């Protein structure tokens, strides 16, 4: 059985207030995206990695590979207009139906190898695996005129890698795009499949702001 990881890295770093796209910002001497790739290689040595990058960023990425003498093999797919289209581009590199495919945010470098492995095992058993964490903050539901308290025990926060048997994710990505597709689980669910949840890791933050960079620096 083949094992794939599609790492989607199309960020522009606008909220970061940085000239570089956030996936290229260095932490501990390496770009964020390289840390992410290393976690998947550490978890599963024979995994096939596909990095999805906008065309205009690919030359710079190749320069970084040379600069850091980065040896982990991976393929590069062209990023699309939306995350949905970027994932679909990455999926075109995964031809085998006898496979499990993980789709991960390239700017989540702190995903643990244990979570990656758990997602692959769970997806192999049930068809899908989405890592989540229980809510620890109180949350409120916004309405047009007010807000109201809701039971946080009925909600979870969603992470990646969202992982699926190949035939399930390939079939789902034949659906026409809609703005309701906020992640891969929403696409698979819209195609009629049940989503299996599994435990994520608290450190697995998505680096979006300068504060997130500081947190990642501490953990790395």
Distance CA 189, CA 134 (A): 21
| Across 36-60, average pLDDT | 97
Judge contact between 156 and 197, C-beta under 8 A.
yes
| Across 159-177, average pLDDT | 98
Confidence of residue 95 (pLDDT cuts 50, 70, 90): confident
Q: Is the peptide bond before 169 cis (omega within 30 degrees of 0)?
A: no
Could you give the 3-state DSSP secondary structure of residue 92?
coil
| Across 7-18, average pLDDT | 69
| Across 12-37, average pLDDT | 85
Distance CA 107, CA 111 (A): 10
Structural domains in the chain, CATH included, are 2-219 (3.90.550.10)
């Amino acid at each position: 059985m083949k094992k794939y990881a599609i790492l989607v890295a199309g960020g522009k770093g606008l909220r970061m207030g940085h000239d570089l796209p956030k996936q290229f910002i260095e932490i501990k001497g390496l770009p964020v995206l390289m840390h992410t790739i290393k976690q998947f290689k550490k978890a599963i040595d024979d995994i096939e990695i596909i990095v999805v990058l906008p065309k205009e960023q690919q030359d710079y990425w190749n320069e970084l590979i040379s600069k850091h003498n980065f040896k982990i093999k991976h393929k590069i797919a062209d990023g699309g207009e939306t995350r949905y289209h970027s994932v679909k581009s990455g999926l075109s590199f995964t031809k085998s139906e006898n496979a499990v495919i993980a789709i991960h945010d390239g700017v989540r470098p702190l995903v643990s190898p244990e979570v990656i492995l758990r997602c692959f095992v769970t997806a192999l058993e049930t068809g899908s695996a989405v890592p989540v964490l229980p809510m620890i903050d109180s949350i409120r539901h916004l309405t047009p005129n007010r807000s109201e308290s809701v039971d946080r025990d009925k909600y979870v926060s969603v992470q990646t890698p969202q992982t699926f048997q190949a035939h399930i994710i390939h079939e789902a990505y034949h659906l026409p795009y809609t703005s309701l597709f906020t992640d891969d689980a929403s696409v698979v669910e819209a195609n009629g499949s049940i989503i299996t949840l599994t435990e994520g890791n608290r450190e697995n933050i998505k680096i979006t702001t300068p504060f997130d960079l500081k947190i990642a620096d501490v953990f790395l």
